[in-house]
Amino acid sequence: MNIARLRLHNQRIAGTTFETPGEVVRWLGAVQAQDYLGALWAVGLRMRCATEGAVERALAERTILRTWPMRGTLHFVAAADARWMLELMTPRVVASQAARHQREYGLDAAIYSKSRDVLTRALEGGKQLSRNAMYQALEDGHVSAAGQHGIHILWRLAQEGLICFGAREGKQKTFVLLDEWVPGAKRLEREEALAELVRRYFTGHGPATVQDLMWWSGLTAADVAAGLEMAKADLVQEVVDDRIYWFSSEQFDSSIPAAYLLPAFDEYVVAYKDRGAVLDSSHVKQTYTVNGIFNPIMILDGQVVGTWKRTLKKASVIVTLNPFNPLKKSQERAFARAGARYGEFLGLPVVME
């Protein structure tokens, strides 16, 4: 079993048929999105034809949204899935941070309760407020947003399902009430939610292990085992090096290697506890740091072969490649095509370096 090539296909980096951002995000379950511009590309590269504006329109039109559904980290999720994902995965994160936030910032149950009331009044009726405006609303309601207080309050209330990010106003990100922004977001019973999450992860990210899913979701081993028991009829398994990998049984043509430019924090690398199937251990430090900062990566035939960066100019985008080893001419041409595709996404000509 070629794990890397299967993941390229199952993540829909290779051979995608998706036409809309909503299809991509729902298929993967969630797309890590603390690097906002990189996350737009993470969605776009998994579509047959995409522009940055099209992905942003999906956010403005409320088919996908950005919030903190797992691991205390920002992700894109399908709007219809936001409620049940938050209810399933955030309680452990919130509980794990509660004592530290009270000890270091004085944020206790009474302050969170007051903050809920203040921000609900500030946002109700469809209002969208920037982060600074949210902080001002807290201050006006006699809740301190100074230092790190404000961001931790927003983080907590988003994970509780009160607020989420709305559409951008210019370059400013805004917050909205989740129930007003996506009133149709469904709830699932816990068992159904576990089964759905397990099915989505192994279908959209497989081949992967139970330990990978535990890392990605933040769920316990017992929860993952329960979800897998309900979902495994839709999956297949294979043992590689004494590890059980779960994935979809869907067939595909994996005969043609291809080059891709993936953004920072892309699901192709970040969504697994063990990244050895796609990343040689000698290049880990060049790919991501010990404190979890992931660089944009070059992919060739499923393997991480380097990093890259973009530099935006007024009339072009410069793509600078940093391969771990010298590229062959054919590989340079393949990455030039990948760079051109990124330029099309941005609507700018590309200068490769």
Full residue range of the structural domain in which residue 38 is found: 3-181
Last residue of a domain, one of 150, 181, 212: 181
Residue 32 and residue 142 in one domain: yes
Same domain, 64 and 127: yes
**Cβ proximity of 209 and 246 under 8 Å:** yes
Strand 236-240 and strand 163-165: pairing? unpaired
Residues 168 and 43 in one domain: yes
**How many domains in the chain?**
3
> Is residue 234 domain-resident?
yes
Measuring CA to CA, which residue among 248, 224, 226, 227 is closest to residue 236? 248
* Rounded Cα gap, residues 64 and 243, in angstroms: 34
Question: Using CB atoms within 10 A of its CB, is residue 90 exposed (0-12), middle (13-18) or buried (19+)?
Answer: buried
Using the structure block, give the residue that is written with the tokens 């009829």: 233
End of a domain among 181, 206, 225? 181
Residue found under tokens 């999906």: 58
273 and 155 in a single domain? The answer is: no
275 and 131 both lie in a single domain: no
pLDDT, residue 77, reads 98
Q: Is residue 253 part of a domain?
A: no
User: For residue 288, what is the DSSP state?
Assistant: B
Same domain, 143 and 74: yes
pTM, 2 dp: 0.95
Residues 7 and 84 in one domain: yes
- pLDDT for 209 equals 98
Instruction: Please name which of 195, 163, 150, 2 lies closest in space to residue 74, comparing C-alpha atoms.
Output: 163
Distance CA 84, CA 106 (A): 29
β-bridge partners, 294: 288
User: 46 with 70, same domain?
Assistant: yes
**What is the full per-residue pLDDT of the chain (353 aa) written as tens digits?**
899 999 999 999 998 999 999 999 999 999 999 999 999 999 999 999 999 999 999 999 999 999 999 999 999 999 999 999 999 999 999 999 999 999 999 999 999 999 999 999 999 999 999 999 999 999 999 999 999 999 999 999 999 999 999 998 888 899 999 999 999 889 999 999 999 999 999 999 999 999 999 999 999 999 999 999 999 999 999 999 999 999 997 766 555 668 999 999 999 999 999 999 999 999 999 999 988 899 999 999 999 999 999 999 999 999 999 999 999 999 999 999 999 999 999 999 999 99
Q: Is residue 118 part of a domain?
A: yes
Q: Which H or E run contains 351?
A: strand 350-352
Asked if the structure places residue 55 within a domain, the reply is yes
233 and 267 both lie in a single domain: no
In this structure, the answer to whether residues 102 and 140 fall within a common structural domain is yes
**By C-alpha distance, which of 89, 62, 87 is closest to 73?**
89
Q: What is the pLDDT of residue 251?
A: 65
